[in-house]
Amino acid sequence: MAKIILAVDDSTSIRQMVAFTLKSAGYTVIEAVDGQDGLDKIKGQATVDLVLTDQNMPRMDGLTLIKTLRGQPQFSATPILMLTTESSDEMKTQGRAAGATGWIVKPFDPHKLLEVIKKVIG
Protein backbone atom coordinates (compact mmCIF):
# COMPACT_ATOMS: atom_id res chain seq x y z
CA MET A 1 0.00 0.00 0.00
CA ALA A 2 1.32 3.45 -0.98
CA LYS A 3 2.51 5.66 1.84
CA ILE A 4 0.54 8.85 2.46
CA ILE A 5 2.21 12.27 2.54
CA LEU A 6 0.48 15.52 3.51
CA ALA A 7 1.96 18.40 1.44
CA VAL A 8 1.10 21.89 2.74
CA ASP A 9 1.98 25.04 0.77
CA ASP A 10 0.06 28.20 -0.17
CA SER A 11 1.79 28.39 -3.58
CA THR A 12 -0.16 26.46 -6.21
CA SER A 13 2.91 25.89 -8.37
CA ILE A 14 4.98 24.54 -5.45
CA ARG A 15 2.12 22.21 -4.48
CA GLN A 16 1.96 20.95 -8.07
CA MET A 17 5.72 20.36 -8.16
CA VAL A 18 5.84 18.60 -4.78
CA ALA A 19 2.82 16.43 -5.65
CA PHE A 20 4.30 15.50 -9.04
CA THR A 21 7.65 14.59 -7.48
CA LEU A 22 6.09 12.47 -4.75
CA LYS A 23 3.48 10.79 -6.97
CA SER A 24 6.14 9.88 -9.54
CA ALA A 25 7.91 8.01 -6.72
CA GLY A 26 4.73 6.14 -5.83
CA TYR A 27 3.51 8.06 -2.81
CA THR A 28 -0.11 9.08 -2.25
CA VAL A 29 -0.29 12.84 -1.73
CA ILE A 30 -2.85 14.90 0.20
CA GLU A 31 -2.52 18.59 -0.74
CA ALA A 32 -3.40 21.53 1.55
CA VAL A 33 -3.18 25.31 1.00
CA ASP A 34 -2.22 26.28 4.57
CA GLY A 35 -1.79 24.86 8.06
CA GLN A 36 -5.48 25.04 8.91
CA ASP A 37 -6.43 23.35 5.64
CA GLY A 38 -3.84 20.66 6.38
CA LEU A 39 -5.42 19.96 9.78
CA ASP A 40 -8.89 19.84 8.17
CA LYS A 41 -7.74 17.47 5.42
CA ILE A 42 -6.29 14.89 7.82
CA LYS A 43 -9.10 15.13 10.35
CA GLY A 44 -10.46 11.62 10.78
CA GLN A 45 -7.37 10.16 9.11
CA ALA A 46 -5.86 7.44 11.31
CA THR A 47 -2.42 8.73 10.45
CA VAL A 48 -0.23 10.01 7.64
CA ASP A 49 3.27 8.70 7.02
CA LEU A 50 4.90 12.13 6.61
CA VAL A 51 4.04 15.83 6.65
CA LEU A 52 5.86 18.25 4.34
CA THR A 53 5.01 21.87 5.14
CA ASP A 54 5.91 25.43 4.15
CA GLN A 55 6.46 28.04 6.90
CA ASN A 56 4.95 31.33 5.67
CA MET A 57 1.28 30.76 4.91
CA PRO A 58 -1.98 32.61 5.57
CA ARG A 59 -4.31 31.51 8.42
CA MET A 60 -1.83 29.05 9.97
CA ASP A 61 1.94 28.94 9.43
CA GLY A 62 4.15 25.86 9.41
CA LEU A 63 5.46 26.19 12.97
CA THR A 64 1.93 26.42 14.39
CA LEU A 65 0.90 23.39 12.31
CA ILE A 66 3.82 21.38 13.71
CA LYS A 67 3.00 22.37 17.29
CA THR A 68 -0.67 21.51 16.77
CA LEU A 69 0.13 18.10 15.24
CA ARG A 70 2.62 17.29 17.99
CA GLY A 71 -0.17 17.93 20.48
CA GLN A 72 -2.26 15.13 18.93
CA PRO A 73 -1.31 11.57 19.98
CA GLN A 74 -1.68 10.03 16.49
CA PHE A 75 0.79 12.53 15.01
CA SER A 76 3.23 12.78 17.91
CA ALA A 77 5.76 10.55 16.15
CA THR A 78 4.94 11.38 12.51
CA PRO A 79 7.97 12.73 10.66
CA ILE A 80 7.45 16.40 9.75
CA LEU A 81 9.74 18.15 7.27
CA MET A 82 9.73 21.91 6.78
CA LEU A 83 10.08 22.98 3.14
CA THR A 84 10.58 26.74 3.09
CA THR A 85 12.54 29.72 1.75
CA GLU A 86 13.39 30.61 5.37
CA SER A 87 17.01 29.68 5.98
CA SER A 88 18.01 31.53 9.14
CA ASP A 89 19.41 29.60 12.10
CA GLU A 90 16.87 31.33 14.32
CA MET A 91 13.97 29.88 12.32
CA LYS A 92 15.58 26.43 12.21
CA THR A 93 15.96 26.51 15.99
CA GLN A 94 12.29 27.40 16.33
CA GLY A 95 11.42 24.54 13.98
CA ARG A 96 13.45 22.06 15.97
CA ALA A 97 11.87 23.28 19.21
CA ALA A 98 8.38 22.92 17.70
CA GLY A 99 9.10 19.29 16.82
CA ALA A 100 10.16 19.35 13.16
CA THR A 101 12.10 16.32 11.96
CA GLY A 102 14.12 18.24 9.39
CA TRP A 103 14.49 21.47 7.42
CA ILE A 104 14.68 21.74 3.62
CA VAL A 105 15.41 25.14 2.08
CA LYS A 106 13.70 26.04 -1.22
CA PRO A 107 14.33 25.69 -4.08
CA PHE A 108 14.32 21.93 -3.54
CA ASP A 109 16.01 19.33 -5.73
CA PRO A 110 13.34 16.65 -6.42
CA HIS A 111 15.89 13.82 -6.26
CA LYS A 112 17.30 15.02 -2.94
CA LEU A 113 13.78 15.50 -1.58
CA LEU A 114 12.91 11.91 -2.44
CA GLU A 115 16.18 10.68 -0.90
CA VAL A 116 15.42 12.47 2.38
CA ILE A 117 11.84 11.20 2.45
CA LYS A 118 13.02 7.66 1.79
CA LYS A 119 15.54 8.03 4.59
CA VAL A 120 12.89 9.30 7.01
CA ILE A 121 9.98 6.97 6.24
CA GLY A 122 11.68 4.15 4.36
Partner 1 sequence: MKIFSRSALIGSLASGILLAGHALYFGTMEVVLANALVFMLIVASWGYLLSQSDSSQKVRGHPDAAVSGDSLFIQESSAFHVQLGNEMSDQLSSAHTELGNTQAILSDAIVKLVSNFIAISDGVRELSQQAGSFSKQVHQLIGDASSMLKSSERSADGSTPNETNSVARSNKQVEAMMRELIGFNETVTQNALELNTIYAKVEQNVLVVISTLQFQDMSSQLIEHARMRMAALKEIAKEMGRGGDSSSQREYMEQIAAYNRLLQKHVASADRHKSNPVAQKDFGTGDIELF
Contact 63, 55 (CB under 8 A): yes
- Please tell me whether residue 86 binds partner 1 under the rule CB under 8 A: yes
- Please tell me whether residue 118 binds partner 1 under the rule CB under 8 A: no
Binding-residue total with partner 1 (CB under 8 A): 35
> Which of 43, 73, 88, 122 touches partner 1 (CB under 8 A)?
88
Nearer to partner 1, 43 or 88 (CB): 88
In the three-class reduction of DSSP (H, G, I as helix; E, B as strand; rest coil), residue 76 is classed as coil
Nearer to partner 1, 40 or 109 (CB): 109
**Sign of the Cα pseudo-torsion (86, 92, 98, 103, in order):** positive
| Other CB atoms within 10 A of residue 19 CB | 17
Residues 81-96: b if buried by 16+ CB within 10 A, e if exposed: bbbbebeeeebbebbe
Nearer to partner 1, 24 or 45 (CB): 24
Q: Which of residues 25-54 bind partner 1 (CB under 8 A)?
A: none
- Please tell me whether residue 65 binds partner 1 under the rule CB under 8 A: no
